[in-house]
Amino acid sequence: MWTIYSEDHRLHRPRYELMDGELVPVFEKPERADWVLERVKARGLGEIAAPRRHGLDAALRVHADHYVDYLAHAWRDWAALGRSHDIMPYCYPVRGMGQRRPTDPDARAGFYAMDSAAPIMAGSWQAIQSSLDCALSALERITEARERAAFAVCRPPGHHAGHDYLGGYCYLNNAAIAAQQLRDKGASRVVVLDVDYHHGNGTQQLFYARSDVLFVSIHGDPGVEYPFFAGHADETGVGEGLGYNLNFPLPHGTGFTQWHAALQAGCRAIERFGADALVVSLGVDTYQDDPISQFKLASPDYLRMGETIAALGLPTLFVMEGGYAVDEIGVNMVNVLEGFEGRA
């Protein structure tokens, strides 16, 4: 299958994030994409191409215009104050506070954030747009070139980004935008399957009241894991969307047997739904040596993950999300794709 990749991701390299009460170097770093691309080449997965520019229309189908405008201009307004460090919020509007849109740069940073883990620097907006371009160009391999599957090397990732907020390394929700694009291009029913270790709270939010996009997520139990405030099993959708949101929270230490049982249950629901197309939020931070996660998957397990996903028989867009262990993220990510293609 084709891989769509842009060098622009290097423009986004924020310095610090908060972990265990300490500022530490960001785990979501440019080398991640290098490891993945190297492995795609080493395995001869297929053509590697740069994305074409798509503009923001597709993003505006799921994100608020004032939020996209914030992303586009946040750095300009921040730098105008003489600041050179990454934008990082420190004050958030919680329960009971007004939701009026602020103008002050620090207020805006908090207003549009769910956490401090998505800093913005000078080159971020360019990288964010190119990451989305990768997802949309990969999608065209399916919708226009009529191929079965494609892989988008998206950096920064997207699944924590909601209608009007960033967080968890995510800014624009690449997978959700691609799913909406599939709907807009004629698919009646689309599934987003999120296999990243962390719950895709942004994707869940965007489709929570809709029955045309089924969201299925397998992730660390939010009772004890980021993003904490979404991803519980009883979150099943609302209104029209009731029954079209399916969460599989799993405990720390979960290995592949238990994980795969959840995937199979998810796949049965996907089959009942009768989808026309599938978007996979492909995070491989479920790996046993991932530095910020608590599942115990081993590299060969990702081949089986790909096989199981392929058995759904759907046109499938793979959108890169998380995965942070050195090197093995390339092996694991490409194992899913090779398993999908039956090459393993």
Residues binding ligand OKP: number (CB under 6 A): 14
Residue 97 belongs to what H/E stretch? none
- Candidates 283, 306, 330, 339; binder of ligand OKP (CB under 6 A) is 283
Residue type, 305: M
Does 73 participate in catalysis according to the annotation? no
Q: Active site residue: 12, 160, 199, 219, which one?
A: 160
Query: Applying CB under 6 A, which of residues 292, 300, 312, 341 lies at the interface with ligand OKP?
Result: 292
- Token duo for residue 243: 């029954």
Which among 61-69, 181-189, 250-258, 282-290 is the span making contact with Zn ion, rule CB under 5 A? Answer: 282-290
The pair phi, psi for residue 255, each rounded to 5°, is: -100, -175
Count the Cβ atoms, other than its own, within 10 Å of residue 138: 29
CA distances (Å), origin 107, targets 37, 51, 222, 265 = 38, 34, 27, 43
168 binds ligand OKP (CB under 6 A): yes
**C-alpha 31, offset from chain centre:** 17
Is 302 among the residues that bind Zn ion (CB under 5 A)? no
Q: Which string of x and - marks every residue 179-218 that binds ligand OKP (by CB under 6 A)?
A: -----------------x-x--------------------
Among 14, 51, 322, 339, binds Zn ion (CB under 5 A): 322
- Smallest gap from residue 118 Cβ to Zn ion (A): 13
Pairing of strands 22-25, 16-19: antiparallel
Kindly state whether residue 171 participates in binding ligand OKP, applying the rule CB under 6 A.
Answer: no
One character per residue 165-204, x = contact with Zn ion (rule: CB under 5 A): -------------------------------xxx------
Both tokens of 90, joined, read 């420190």
Residue in the structure block whose two tokens are 């297929």: 46
3-state secondary structure at position 82: coil
Residues in 215-254 at the binding interface with ligand OKP, rule: CB under 6 A = 226
Cis peptide bond prior to 157, omega within 30° of 0: no
301 sits near ligand OKP (criterion: CB under 6 A) = no
Where do we find the tokens 């060969």? 300
Residue 87's beta-bridge partner residues? 120
Catalytic residue annotation:
160
- Residues in the site for ligand OKP, rule: CB under 6 A? 19, 117, 157, 160, 168-169, 196, 198, 226, 283, 285, 292, 321-322
Q: Which residues would be at the binding site for Zn ion (CB under 5 A)?
A: 196-198, 283, 285, 322
